Chain A
Amino acid sequence: MQRIKFIDRMAQGKMSRRQMLQSASAFGVGALFLPRPTAAAEVLTCLEWGGYDSADYFQAYVDKYGAQPNFSIFAGEEDALAKVLAGFAADVMHPCNYSVARFVNAGVAAEIDTSRLSHWNDIFPALQSAEGVIWDGKTVMAPADWGNSSLAYRPDLLPPEFNENPTWAIFYDEEYKGRVAMTDNEMAIIIGAMVGGMPYDEAYKLEGAALEAAAKEWGTKAVNVSKFLWTDSSEVQQAMASGEIVAAYAWNDLIANLRAEGVPVEFAKPKEGMFTWFCGLTLLNTGKADEQAAYDFIDAWLSPETGKALIEGSGYGHANMKAFDIADPEALANMGITDPVAMMADTIVFKTPSDAVQEGFNKVWGDTKALKY
């Protein structure tokens, strides 16, 4: 208000020069001192997905240290890695099983001493030894949250035959052009190859001419058939709630949110398979804070209370077995599968491609999108 009046009076020329100089300097000096750089270098700095910077997920840490750690938000693992490689000093990062290797290969991840984590022994054994948690024989990620990627669809807007036998092929079928949404990710090519009959274990590491052929056939179809390629959950959930799209590549939270709004929606187990991912905390060697604080933060994430908050809040699973004993049974029932051991046997767990393969996929997927008009 003061500012607007100031502009107005200045605009009228009704302010004397002295007045103007006085206000301007007061304003300028004030503005100069407003944004204060954070001085305390000892505070733990975490690179975190947007939205996971809530105390619900690390209450034990807040109880011990009396304050939240500092967070730097990222939207994708590449952004976070770029920032760390440029010299940003972070202590902890939250990658997923398919991306943690990039941090290890880039030389910024440190080995985790699991004996310093009090909740480690309550972690599902299948997760303790999974690829991604262990890389090159070292524990580089403490698994925390897990979930599924699968096909979500509106049973009320699709023919009953689809209901009986859901398939990923819907994303490559001209008949559904403009009514489905793939994710903006090279998964569109991998799943396409699987629809074409290739097992996931081969599809995820396609290279060279085979990769280009798959991109040309399946990537192009996915790009043409999809109404849009989604990059944030809000976008796809909004479109599915309105009926604009009838099927989408989705995570568990879509089902939880749409059902809460009374929208009929099913999380399919497509005949080609559904996917499982898990994410966790990785210790970075770039940090400046006390290492114990980093371990306390990771330990807080592994606690059953965090698991309860995660299960009830977003419909995702948690790595701590005890979390399932204290979580609301109704939330558990909504999730469908509650045992990651059974789930990992029953679904396709994402694998970690080599850096070269990953970059190859990124390139062909980028090119495929570019050629669409």
Chain B
Amino acid sequence: MTAVSEPVAASRTRDAERVRRWLRGYGLLSPALAVMIAMLALPVAALVLLSFWTQHGFELDRSPTIENYAQLVRLKDEPTVWFGIPFYFAYPVPAILMIKSLVMSLSATVAVIALAYPMAYFLAFRVTRNKAMWIILITIPFWTSYLLRVFAWKIVLGFNGAINSGLKALGIIDQPLEFLLYNPGAVVITLAHSWVAFAILPIYVSLEKIDRSLLEAASDLGDSKLKRFLRITLPLSAPGTVAAALLVFIPTVGDYVTPTLVGGPGGTMIGNLVQELFLKQNNAPLGAAVAITMMLIIAVIVAIFLWAIGYRRIRSRRM
């Protein structure tokens, strides 16, 4: 005689089944997670520790202190004015560079998505043959080195560069345009060009999986092309587009190579500060504090962004 009633037995099997699924899931995750823990958890922990220490010459003072963080937010009465914005920080440089970096990488991200989306759309819906070839062709310019591509942009935008020489030959200008290179605009163009492949791939991948019968159904129901795009294609490709935006936005905030190469004297970004603190200024603890603060700010911005667009809803949408 069994003492257990039917529904309880069923729920037990369901529980056991769920636990088994979880174990399988963790099993699948474990190799990647192991790599990340071995190579990332340790550096991050070291970074956090370091940010609470102090550097004296070549010696590290390991007594814990929050002085490094306090330095970043300490106020003074007389503001440092930058771009018309008063900063009341005693050490305003990190705050100013953070804002500058966010604005630059946000512009670059918008430019990248605007450039990449139509191309991904083209790849997913218009290219019917040789798709793999098209995708590889789009990434080939990225197989040449980054430094060479930046150099190429300098030739395009430069004083005797392609644009200026072309315009001069056409008789449109007498004197070379000098505003093309060494300004934030040049940084945004160069960043957009360098990152566009990283945006095309995720967007393409999510467009590619859209069930074509949905689109046909919409047309059959009398939707115009535009309406069909707005109601079906755009929402269904949102996960890839959001992923692409984040993949471009997050790393470019901390980028410092492009701004220094084409941005001119005003090209410094927050990544440069971290680099200088770690190497030239011999103040790794303060550099660690700046890096951690920067990471937290980015995390908060990303969280707000995902919440604002209702990412959970987008992700769980089924086709």
Partner pick for B93 among A105, A235, A370, CB 8 A cutoff: A370
CB-CB nearest in chain A for B80: A371
* A-B residue pair count with CB separations less than 8 angstroms: 88
B265 within 8 A of A: yes
A78 within 8 A of B: yes
The complex places the Cα of A362 from the Cα of B283 at a distance, in Å, of: 11
One digit per residue, 1 when the CB lies within 8 angstroms of any chain B CB and 0 when it does not, for chain A 213-228 equals 0000000000110111
Partner pick for B281 among A8, A85, A229, A363, CB 8 A cutoff: A363
The complex places the Cα of A239 from the Cα of B58 at a distance, in Å, of: 39
CB-CB nearest in chain A for B87: A371
CB-CB nearest in chain A for B83: A373
Number of B interface residues in the complex (CB < 8 A): 35
CB-CB nearest in chain B for A108: B58
Beta-carbon contact of B279 and A370 below 8 Å = no
Beta-carbon contact of A228 and B279 below 8 Å = no
Beta-carbon contacts under 8 Å, B49-88 to A? 57-58, 80, 82-83
Partner pick for A11 among B132, B264, B266, B281, CB 8 A cutoff: B132
Beta-carbon contact of A82 and B278 below 8 Å = yes
Beta-carbon contact of A178 and B100 below 8 Å = no
Partner pick for B136 among A4, A85, A105, A243, CB 8 A cutoff: A4
Number of A interface residues in the complex (CB < 8 A): 38
Beta-carbon contact of B279 and A231 below 8 Å = no
The complex places the Cα of A239 from the Cα of B158 at a distance, in Å, of: 8
One digit per residue, 1 when the CB lies within 8 angstroms of any chain B CB and 0 when it does not, for chain A 334-373 equals 0000000000000000000001000100110011011111
Beta-carbon contact of A224 and B265 below 8 Å = yes
Q: What is the minimal beta-carbon distance from B185 to any residue of chain A, in angstroms? A: 13
B-binding residues in A (CB < 8 A): 4, 7-8, 11, 76, 78-79, 82, 85, 105-107, 178, 184, 223-224, 226-229, 231, 235, 238-239, 242-244, 355, 359, 362-363, 366-367, 369-373
22 A-B residue pairs with CB within 8 Å:
A223-B266, A224-B265, A226-B265, A227-B264, A228-B264, A242-B159, A243-B160, A244-B158, A244-B159, A244-B160, A244-B178, A355-B282, A362-B276, A362-B281, A366-B272, A366-B276, A369-B272, A370-B97, A370-B272, A370-B273, A371-B80, A373-B82
